[in-house]
A = this chain, B = another copy of it.
Amino acid sequence: MGKSVGDGAEALFLGQFEHALDGKNRLFIPVRFREHRQPQRFILTRGLERCLYLFPVVTWRRLANRLDQLPIRDKREERAFKRAFLAWASEVSLDPQGRILIPHALGQYAGIRQDAVVIGVLQHIEVWAKERWRRYVPHAEGSFQRLAPHLEL
């Protein structure tokens, strides 16, 4: 259940998968989320609502460029933001089995100890602690019911 759509310039991620971290803090990335190009590298960083974001390097580059163009008056705050965003970022690459190593600080931030949920959200992938995700779902459900009509399917 889940898929990466389109094999054009850029894949879109969707679907959700459950995986457990093994004893070595490695997380399996479903095949559907893997890039076909070699080497398979991603940027893992912290996301909102205490999950982790996983970006293909290309997408990340675009994002990093945008960092310098944020509409921020206060330079001090801009520095603080960059530090928070970048210090918790990390380049990770897939091992031959298709797993990534979750850095300790990031695992902490997202509260991931054992069970994790990996979900695709178009441009990026998110990693949640299973428990936190379970509690978050009802929220998401509400938003879905409220906004879906606007899609005019």
Contacts and interface: CB of A to CB of B under 8 A. Distances in A.
A91 interface: yes
Copies of the polypeptide in the assembly: 2
A153 interface: yes
A47 B86 CA distance: 17
Interface of A: 1-6, 12-16, 32, 43, 45-49, 53, 57, 60-61, 63-64, 66-67, 70-72, 76-77, 79-92, 103-106, 119-124, 126, 136-137, 139-151, 153
Given A79-B48, A84-B141, A2 B119 contact: no
A134 to B, nearest CB: 12
A83 B43 CA distance: 20
Contacts of A124: 153
Contacts of A76: 48-49
The 5 A-B pairs with the shortest beta carbon distances in the complex, nearest first, are: A1-B103, A3-B91, A84-B144, A84-B140, A80-B143
A132 to B, nearest CB: 12
B91 A2 contact: yes
A45 B16 CA distance: 12
Given A14-B90, A88-B16, A82 B121 contact: yes
Given A5-B60, A79-B48, A87 B119 contact: yes
A106 B1 contact: yes
